[in-house]
Structure 1
Amino acid sequence: MTKALIIGAPRSGSGKTSVTIGLLRAFARRGIRVRGIKSGPDYIDPGFHQAATGIAGLNLDSWAMEPPLVQHLLANAAEGIDLLLIESAMGLFDGIAGGEGRTGSAADLSRLLGIPVLLVLDISGQSQTAAAVAVGFRHYDQNVRMAGVVLNRAGSERHVRLSRAAIESAGLSVVGAVLRDSMLSLPERHLGLVQATEHPAIESHIDRLADAMESALDLDAILSLAVSIAPEAGSPSAHLSPPGQRIAIASDAAFTFLYPHLGHHWRQAGAELVAFSPLADEAPPGHCDACWLPGGYPELFAGRIAAAHKFRAGLADFAATRPVHGECGGYMVLGESLEDAEGQRHTMTGLLSHSTSFATRKMNLGYRQATLLSDGALGRAGQVIRGHEFHYARVTDAGRDEAFAAIADGTGSPIGLSGGRRALVSGTFFHAIAAVTG
């Protein structure tokens, strides 16, 4: 029987990712088959979860995914697994006004699936006041159960004693305390954490996190807080269909953001995913019948992409007869040009007519609901797709192509037209997560 526990916090930056990664590796060392899951649309943390366990990560998103799909994905993720640790995005209750159980928060998953929460409290700058925060979490929603507390970034043993005593006197269990240590922090850049595959010493860093959690936390107590789950079978009907039978997937340091559940479902549906590297000047393999350019960091490699003549020529040849779709970073590469952070303009593939810039940054962040305006890689015209947008680049020239989709924000308020489409080529800043079936 699989057990599960949600790891939540009052806000982003509380250290829950470091705690989660350390616990994943610590439990894996014990021979426990443990898998990490990220609530919400964060596509970086699942890579760290996989690095810590050797088992593929997963996103569960209560806003973008209909409840039957959440159940289906959880049931698949639990197969052969002893323990699921579900890491919250942002604060535990943070989400949008998407309707009951559809806010995108980790609290939705707790209610839907009956999974309790291990609360990570950053107690720097406070002591007994941490108890007021913990008690507030316990009483805020009676359907979201606080199973225990981790004290994080404590300054001293005395600091720990004061905070622990106040929290335990309020009736909550404290399973340990992690002292403040800058060596436990993960490196960041403009879209969040530097990805696990790019971390120069990922294994030693994860081992350091695991060592810290093993020495600071009561792993047996944490394991006892997890509850056995028997997920319903759910339904995969809201999954996005594979865009082809053999899909060429750009995969290197510039193209990295493919949601794990998409690749897994496409393979389950019988598709073959064939990786190629634009940074290595590789064209999409000729035996493929669709090409997908995921998001990533093309702005950091714009010069190399501009100089990748075999890639650019090969992609143009491919697009003449087969569909090509780009998301976010992939969309930027499909355009005429990309201006990097220093203001230097680099020629891109020109398969779409827009231009983008990273020189003047403007954060675009939020859930998106897209209605497709024509048939293509993501589905038929009129299909509604839910997903997410997170980028600092902006469009400096909208170009002359047909729009790809009409988009609204997470509450349904219209935003306007998004992306572009020309012949068999399409692209958008929007990352697709799941379809709307109703």
Structure 2
Amino acid sequence: MTPRAIIIGAPRSGSGKTSVTIGLLRAFARRGVKVRGVKTGPDYIDPGFHEVATGHRGLNLDSWAMHPSLLCHLAGEQASDADLLIIESAMGLFDGIRGEPKRSGAASDLAALFAIPVLLVLDVSGQSQTAAAIAHGFAHYDPQVKLAGCVLNRVGSERHRTLCTDAINHIGLPVLGSVLRDPNLVLPERHLGLVQASEHPEMNAHIDRLADAMEASLDLEEIFSAASPLRLPSGSADQALPPPGQRIALAQDAAFTFLYPHVVHHWRSLGAEIVPFSPLANEAPPQGCDVCWVPGGYPELHAGRLAAAENFKNGLLRFAETRPVHGECGGYMVLGAALEDAEGVTHPMTGLLSHHTSFAHRKMNLGYRQATLLAESPLGRKGQVVRGHEFHYARVIHPGNDEPLATIADGLGKPIGFSGGRRGMVSGSFFHGIAIA
């Protein structure tokens, strides 16, 4: 059977897309539907929720960072054994950046490129008939983006539901369900967005509550029927990030969790072996590996434990004498000489690079990045351009004296300057690589 696909979109962040998506994923899985989750844009947290809800790996599809051929390849892989793909939009449905046509990073790009209909989630708290005006605007903003219908979220009463539903039906759009206002359905958040799925103490129970709410509130049969058969052009993985080695020592614990699912999956598909180790458990990278990758996460929340993890630090130093080590974002912070936590306490890190970072002196850095690599590294070849993303509040307070890893520009190509550092076989930056440009 040809898999079907639908996009869960909304006018803005905070409308309830994630709760609706996770609830639908679990609700369909309960019914025996082979359902898979996808997140648009560079958000690496929500795919973890999708994985817990379905039991299958999540995926990011980013129309800015990924060439259309790579989008087709990755979407095809995710749909290969599925009945239904539920694609959760980042931010508002049409929110992206200026650039090449249909390469803005917005979920609407995927809707247009692959003719996937959109189920529009409307937070109707504080409004009634006005919801129809918003839905009307979405239905007519881009003729290539088709709405399958609407879901009303945070409905206050039966009268409220009727007012909104009648107004939306009047403009020719179906309402496929309404979810009552319920604070128990809200996911917890912190400084980089939602708490990750692996950290939520009762994640399965919470997802079951969301699924119960969606089953009681939404017409699942109509939503499945509204999803369109997914017919993709042939794609290619040529612009996926290649594995940096054959056996990759991967730091993996509560401090190091941010690595895009499609990156790890592609590494494995080319025969690379991923060997996890835990710095928080004071484990060194396994010596049988030929490269070490330290991903992003929340090292600032565990700085004291990391500073005291002598076996990890000494083992990483020995590893770096003969084999490459690369750190992304949080990993870059730990490769530096020192990390200042939120309370202003400075903790010694590995010292493989010479910079100092601080979470006490916060500055938000958020956006697409184009990195031109200045030297060979696990991220790619010298001169190669990698598209990716930054999202962090920590900043460098002492730059150190290492050579820069890359020059970076923003998503529109505006130069920003040098990024990261490299010394010997060690490299790192705040930049998260997504795909080769």
TM-score w.r.t. structure 2 length?
Answer: 0.99
Q: How far apart, in 1, do the equivalents of 2:224 and 2:351 lie?
A: 53
Residues 365-420 of structure 1 deviation map (CA, whole Å, 9 limit, x = unaligned) = 00000000001111111000000000000100000000000000000000000000
Matches within 5 A, 1:248-327: 248-327=249-328
Distance 1:376 1:176 in 2: 50
Once residues 153 and 390 of structure 1 are traced to their aligned partners in structure 2, the CA distance between those partners, rounded to angstroms, is 29
What's the offset of the Cα at 1:60? 0.2
Q: How does 1:171-190 map to 2 (within 5 A)?
A: 171-190=172-191
Quick one: distance in 1 between partners of 2:150 and 2:231?
A: 25
Which residue of structure 2 aligns with residue 427 of structure 1? 428
Q: Distance in 2 between matches of 1:307 and 1:274?
A: 23
Contact 1:40–1:106 under 8 Å retained in 2: yes
- Report the counterpart of residue 105 of structure 1 in structure 2: 106
Letter aligned with residue 422 of structure 2: R
Q: Which amino acid aligns with 1:358?
A: F
Q: Is the 8 A contact 2:339 2:348 kept in 1?
A: yes
Distance in 2 (CA, whole Å) between partners of 1:217 and 1:133 is 20
1:135 aligns with 2:114: no
| In structure 2, C-alpha distance between the alignment counterparts of 1:235 and 1:414, rounded to whole Å | 29
Deviations 1:113-157 (A, max 9, x none): 110000000000000000000000000000000111000001111
Q: Aligned pairs, how many?
A: 436
Contact 1:75–1:232 (Cα < 8 Å) also in 2: no
Q: Could you give the per-residue CA deviations for residues 312-366 of structure 1, whole angstroms, max 9, x where no partner exists? A: 0000000000000000000000000000000000000000000000002111000
| Deviation, structure 1 residue 78 | 0.8
C-alpha offsets along residues 244-302 of structure 1, whole Å, 9 cap, x if unaligned? 00000000000000100000000001100000000000000000000000000000000
Q: Give the Cα separation in 2 of the matches to 1:190 and 1:98.
A: 29
2: CA distance between counterparts of 1:239 and 1:203? 32
Given that 2:335 and 2:428 are in contact with CA atoms closer than 8 Å, whether structure 1 keeps it comes out as yes
Letter paired with 1:100: P
Task: Give the 3-state SS of the residue equivalent to 1:89 in structure 2.
Answer: coil
CA-CA distance at 1:232 after TM superposition: 2.3
Structure 1: distance between partners of 2:181 and 2:371: 43
1:61 matched to 2:62: yes
Q: Aligned to 1:401, what secondary structure does the other structure show?
A: coil
Deviations 1:227-248 (A, max 9, x none): 1112222011101110000000
Cα separation, 2, equivalents of 1:170 and 1:380: 54
Which residue does 1:416 correspond to in 2? Answer: 417
Q: Name the SS of the counterpart of 1:197 in structure 2.
A: helix
- Write the letter of the residue equivalent to 2:410: D
Instruction: Tell me the secondary structure at the aligned position of residue 74 of structure 2.
Output: helix
Matched, 1:166 2:185: no
Q: Secondary structure at the match of 2:280?
A: helix
**RMSD, aligned CA:** 0.5
Unmatched 5+ stretches in structure 2? none
Query: Which whole-Å CA distance do the structure 1 matches of 2:181 and 2:362 have between them?
Result: 33
Counterparts of 1:14 and 1:148, CA distance in 2: 16
For the Cα contact (< 8 Å) 1:35–1:55, is it kept in 2?
Answer: yes
SS of the residue corresponding to residue 32 of structure 2 reads coil
- After the TM superposition, which residues 344-423 of structure 1 pair with which residues of structure 2 at under 5 Å, given as runs? 344-423=345-424
Q: 2:180 is aligned with what amino acid?
A: L
1:48 counterpart = 2:49: yes
Q: For 1:357, give the aligned amino acid.
A: S
Letter in structure 2 aligned against 1:307: A
Instruction: Measure how far apart 1:99 and its partner are.
Output: 1.3
Aligned to 2:145: 144
Matching residue's letter, 1:35? R
Question: What is the aligned partner in structure 2 of residue 333 from structure 1?
Answer: 334
Distance in 1 between the 2:429 and 2:48 partners? 23
Question: Structure 1 counterpart of 2:327, which letter?
Answer: G
CA distance in 1, matches of 2:75, 2:22: 19
Query: Which amino acid in structure 1 is aligned with residue 169 of structure 2?
Result: E
Distance in 1, matches of 2:63 and 2:75, equals: 12
Query: Distance in 2 between the 1:284 and 1:413 partners?
Result: 37
- Code of the residue aligned with 1:37 in structure 2: it is V
Q: In 1, distance between residues paired with 2:349 and 2:229?
A: 51
Answer yes or no: is the 8 Å Cα contact 1:8–1:16 preserved in 2: yes
Counterpart of 2:234 in structure 1 is 233
Percent identity over the alignment is: 69
DSSP 3-state at the match of 1:351: coil
User: What residue in structure 2 maps to residue 126 of structure 1?
Assistant: 127
In 1, distance between residues paired with 2:298 and 2:7? 30
Q: Which runs of 5+ in 1 are unaligned?
A: none
- Please give the alpha-carbon distance, in whole angstroms, between the structure 1 residues aligned to 2:114 and 2:327: 34
Question: 1:73-120, CA deviations, whole angstroms, 9 ceiling, x for partnerless residues?
Answer: 011111110000000000000000121011000000011111000000
Runs (4 or more) in structure 1 with deviation over 6 Å come to none
CA distance in 2, matches of 1:401, 1:343: 25
Give the Cα–Cα distance (whole angstroms) in 2 for the partners of residues 308 and 156 of structure 1: 54
1:201 and 1:281 mapped to 2: Cα distance?
27
One-letter amino acid of the structure 2 residue matched with residue 25 of structure 1: R
Q: Is the 8 A contact 2:42 2:389 kept in 1?
A: yes
Rounded Cα–Cα distance in structure 2 between residues aligned with 1:157 and 1:257 = 42
CA distance in 1 between counterparts of 2:188 and 2:150 reads 25
CA distance in 2, matches of 1:400, 1:390: 24
Deviation at 1:200, TM superposition (A): 0.6
